[in-house]
């Protein structure tokens, strides 16, 4: 969590001026300092979460949506429901089966490196006919980020069940089972590990079973050991993607040279 320690990140953070770019992946640009963060023990920033969510999203289809941290943070801080509706409209939240929303407790968007804790809020539309719900996963005992996650849920709730205004307020926020982090800096890795477990559960076909949920997958797959290993796995993934891009660029340059001979 990092209360009283160095901040985890801000949900509006971007590329640091002057830092070397190491990988462009979709809309995300990773820089050299992101690799140092993963080597740890350091708090995870929004670029790393956005990168991994983009990686997880590949091949999932339209029913499951993983949002980069900047989008939930923006939705939480817009001034009125009309602004929220305008930003959220292209996301089609009500038509998705699952939406994964990273939550950061940064109270001031103007403060760089603000916030001290990451959690995951899931919009769960798989529980028909009982209607949608929000499930919050917080790796710190007592769920200190619940008020922040509930504020985001409050902003999104009017967009759900719009055809039945009587039920609109009945979209609850519940705490999902979440393994506890044993340190003050791994909350962001827990968010990514839980997202990976949810995506694996979904791809295995369990997401289509009415009334089921991903809770057992989280209990089974996410713990202190798997979270520690995930930092190394992410570094290896990034290294592989960098090498793949370099190889592709080399092949392309070789083809151009051959064509000019």
pLDDT tens by residue, 89-132: 999 999 999 999 999 999 888 876 679 999 999 999 987 677 89
- How many angstroms from the chain centroid is the CA of residue 174? 18
Top mean pLDDT of 71-85, 158-172, 199-213 is at: 71-85
CB atoms under 10 Å from CB of 184, counted, come to 18
User: Given this model, what pLDDT does residue 110 score?
Assistant: 81
Tell me which residue of 68, 56, 188, 182 sits closest to 119, measured CA to CA.
Answer: 188
| CA 126/CA 23 separation, integer angstroms | 35
Give the CB-side neighbour count of residue 226, counting CA atoms within 13 A: 16
| CA 188/CA 3 separation, integer angstroms | 14
In total, the chain counts a number of residues equal to 261
User: Given this model, what pLDDT does residue 1 score?
Assistant: 44
Tell me which residue of 214, 107, 215, 91 sits closest to 151, measured CA to CA.
Answer: 107
Lowest-confidence pick of 100-114, 129-143, 197-211: 197-211
> Across residues 150-178, what is the average pLDDT?
82
8 A C-beta contact, residue 10 and residue 107: no
> Across residues 7-21, what is the average pLDDT?
59
Fold classification of 24-241 (topology level) = Adenoviral Proteinase; Chain (3.40.395)
8 A C-beta contact, residue 36 and residue 19: no
């Amino acid at each position: 969590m990092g209360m009283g320690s160095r901040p985890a990140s801000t949900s509006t953070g971007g590329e640091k001026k002057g830092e070397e770019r190491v990988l462009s992946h979709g809309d995300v640009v990773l820089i050299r300092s992101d690799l140092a963060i993963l080597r740890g023990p350091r708090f995870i920033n929004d670029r790393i979460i956005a990168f991994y969510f983009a990686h997880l999203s590949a091949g999932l289809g339209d029913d499951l949506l993983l949002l980069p941290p900047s989008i939930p943070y923006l939705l939480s801080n817009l001034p009125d429901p009309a602004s929220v509706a305008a930003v959220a409209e292209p996301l089609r939240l009500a038509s998705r089966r699952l939406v994964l929303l990273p939550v950061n407790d940064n109270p001031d968007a103007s403060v760089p490196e603000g916030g001290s804790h990451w959690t995951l809020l899931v919009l769960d539309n798989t529980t028909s006919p009982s209607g949608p719900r929000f499930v919050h996963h917080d790796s710190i005992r007592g769920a200190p980020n619940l008020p922040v996650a509930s504020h985001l849920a409050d902003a999104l709730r009017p967009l759900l069940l719009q055809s039945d205004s009587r039920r609109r307020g009945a979209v609850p926020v519940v705490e999902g089972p979440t393994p506890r982090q044993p340190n003050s800096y791994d909350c962001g890795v827990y968010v990514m590990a839980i997202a990976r477990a949810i995506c694996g559960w979904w791809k295995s076909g369990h997401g289509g079973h009415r009334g089921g949920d991903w809770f057992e997958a989280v209990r089974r797959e996410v713990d202190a050991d798997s979270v520690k290993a995930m930092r190394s796995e992410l570094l290896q993934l990034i290294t592989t993607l960098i090498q793949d891009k370099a190889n592709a660029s080399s092949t392309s340059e070789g083809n151009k040279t051959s064509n000019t001979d």
